[in-house]
């Protein structure tokens, strides 16, 4: 356990270099491993989750080297993985395990997966079912949970699969499995999700088509058995990580912060859109494209926020940002309503329950149902002063530390250890901006 405390802050100021995008980092490693030749990767997020994916790929026979210039991956080509001689431990990484399941599902090897207690509670059936249709055999613990074993197919089949729930991880797992299948593999999603996999597949030479559908869905089609070629990857800053210093700068009076090199993938900007509807002063600076992804710097200036209704159609584009949006809503004027949040029940924790519990501990009025949340904002600094149970969820931990900067009384969290899974430099980054976030010897005091 690593208890931490955040004290009410004075104006924050400075330039933040946001760590590399976690979603892109996982996918860059997996596709570089499936290409022919050596792929240099710059800006890779060196968090516990991403390092677990790199370690798993090494166990599957991929040479991955870290040096002064960044990372280098010597690819083995599509279908070229070797059978690992040990269980692949993905720690807390849902993205890592689901995407790796897809990659090995269409290769004739046996692969065993495990994870930490949090990951072992997360549902994998949503990935197991389509991979089974493609010919893989999967044995899992009750409820389709880790630990599990995947026997890849010797003759993988392309499928046309309609996602019951919009999920970039499930979509990506199917597309990765489709690399070894002849013909065309198609995934239809009810709402558009982040398209990093499609962009990187094209970057490495695969043929991928995406077409919008009536009603807002999207159909993605991949031509199987391509010859992927090594190609340099520059990983942009993670907008999900940028969300924490961004929200802090919006909420702490007098703050003025610049976030550099932030990825602006159109399927990831739901939080930005919502904050701007709340009145946030956010300015895009120097919009450009790097490594196939749109990027810009963001100028953030503190100011009052107002409550809004978040449309359910926006949920896939900000699924990871609802904890920090809840913090912004707690400081806004009026009520903020969020619907379509059922997916939050099966993240690293039951995030919806964790948000409610944390807000109540800090004196904030909140109401929730199975898939909705209503927060009555304080119209300024909320009371704070609570101790928040993080449930080993990195986004819950960081969100409530940000609340402590904007509240009237310090906010403590019971455990900040999970922060290392996605944003290891978070305490340093926030301290450099002027925040007071540090370890706490006791939950009842400093």
For 345-356, what is each residue's pLDDT tens digit?
A: 877 779 999 999
Section 216-241 average pLDDT: 97
Which pLDDT value is given to residue 357?
Answer: 97
Section 395-420 average pLDDT: 97
Range scoring the smallest mean pLDDT among 80-84, 127-131, 165-169:
165-169
- The first and second tokens of residue 330, run together, are 């707690």
The verdict on whether 116 is a catalytic residue reads no
Beta bridge pairs of residue 229:
36
What is the pLDDT confidence band of residue 441, given thresholds at 50, 70 and 90? confident
Which pLDDT value is given to residue 133?
Answer: 98
Average pLDDT along the chain: 96
Which pLDDT value is given to residue 290?
Answer: 81
**Contact between 243 and 324 (Cβ < 8 Å):** yes
Which pLDDT value is given to residue 445?
Answer: 45
Section 130-143 average pLDDT: 96
Handedness of CA 288, 291, 292, 295 (dihedral sign): negative
Which pLDDT value is given to residue 30?
Answer: 98
Which pLDDT value is given to residue 443?
Answer: 54
**Contact between 404 and 410 (Cβ < 8 Å):** yes
83-127, pLDDT tens digit by residue? 999 999 999 999 999 999 999 999 999 999 999 998 999 889 999
Section 408-416 average pLDDT: 98
Q: How far apart are CA 222 and CA 168, in angstroms?
A: 15
442 pLDDT more than 70: no
Percent of the chain with pLDDT over 70: 99
Percent of the chain with pLDDT over 90: 94
Give all strands of the β-sheet with 4-7 in edge-to-edge order. 387-388, 411-413, 4-7, 436-439
CA separation (Å) from 9 to 240, 251, 257, 323, 330?
Answer: 22, 10, 14, 20, 16
Which pLDDT value is given to residue 348?
Answer: 75
> Residues 89, 195, 297, 320: which is the catalytic one?
320
446 pLDDT more than 50: no
At a CB cut-off of 8 Å and minimum separation 6, what does 216 contact?
A: 190, 191, 192, 313
Using only the alpha carbons of the chain, give its radius of gyration: 21
287-342, pLDDT tens digit by residue? 998 877 999 999 999 999 999 999 999 999 999 999 999 999 999 999 999 999 99
Q: For 318-351, b where at least 16 C-beta lie within 10 A, e where not — what string?
A: bbbbbbbbbbbbbbbbebbebebbebbebbbbbb
């Amino acid at each position: 356990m690593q208890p931490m405390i955040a004290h009410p802050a004075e104006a924050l100021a400075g330039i933040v270099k946001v760590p590399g995008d976690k979603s892109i980092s996982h996918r860059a490693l997996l596709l570089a491993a499936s290409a022919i030749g050596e792929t240099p990767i710059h800006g890779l997020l060196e968090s516990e989750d991403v390092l677990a994916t790199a370690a798993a790929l090494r166990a599957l026979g991929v040479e991955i080297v870290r040096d002064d210039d960044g990372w280098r991956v010597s690819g083995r080509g599509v279908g070229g993985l070797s059978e690992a001689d040990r269980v692949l431990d993905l720690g807390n990484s849902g993205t890592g395990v689901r995407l790796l399941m897809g990659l090995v599902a269409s290769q004739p090897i046996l692969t065993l997966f495990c994870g930490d207690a949090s990951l072992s509670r997360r549902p994998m059936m949503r990935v197991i079912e389509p991979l089974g249709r493609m010919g893989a055999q999967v044995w899992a613990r009750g409820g389709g949970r880790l630990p599990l074993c995947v026997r890849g197919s010797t003759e993988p089949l392309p499928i046309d699969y309609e996602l019951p729930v919009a999920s970039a991880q499930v979509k990506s797992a199917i597309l990765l499995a489709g690399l070894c299948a002849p013909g065309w593999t198609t995934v239809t999603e009810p709402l558009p999700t982040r398209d990093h996999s499609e962009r990187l597949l094209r970057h490495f030479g695969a043929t991928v088509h995406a077409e919008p559908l009536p009603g807002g869905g999207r159909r993605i089609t991949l031509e199987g058995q391509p010859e992927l070629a090594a190609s340099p990857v520059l990983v942009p800053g993670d907008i999900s990580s940028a969300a924490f210093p961004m929200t802090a700068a919006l909420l702490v009076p007098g703050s003025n912060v610049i976030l550099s090199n932030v990825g602006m993938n159109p399927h990831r900007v739901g939080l930005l859109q919502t904050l701007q509807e709340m009145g946030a002063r956010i300015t895009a600076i120097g919009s450009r494209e790097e490594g196939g992804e749109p990027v810009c710097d963001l100028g953030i200036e503190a100011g009052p926020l107002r409550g809004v209704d978040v449309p359910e159609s926006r949920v896939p584009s900000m699924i990871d940002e609802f904890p920090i949006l809840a913090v912004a809503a707690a400081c806004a004027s009026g009520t903020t309503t969020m619907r379509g949040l059922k997916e939050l029940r099966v993240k690293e924790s039951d995030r919806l329950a964790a948000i409610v519990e944390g807000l109540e501990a800090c004196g904030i009025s909140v109401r929730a149902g199975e898939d909705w949340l209503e927060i009555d904002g304080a119209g300024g600094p909320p009371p704070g002063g609570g101790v928040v149970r993080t449930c080993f969820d990195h986004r819950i931990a960081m969100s409530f530390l940000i609340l402590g900067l904007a509240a009237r009384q310090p906010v403590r969290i019971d455990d900040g250890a999970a922060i290392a899974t996605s944003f290891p430099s978070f305490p340093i980054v926030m301290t450099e901006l002027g925040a007071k976030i540090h370890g706490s010897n006791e939950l009842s005091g400093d």
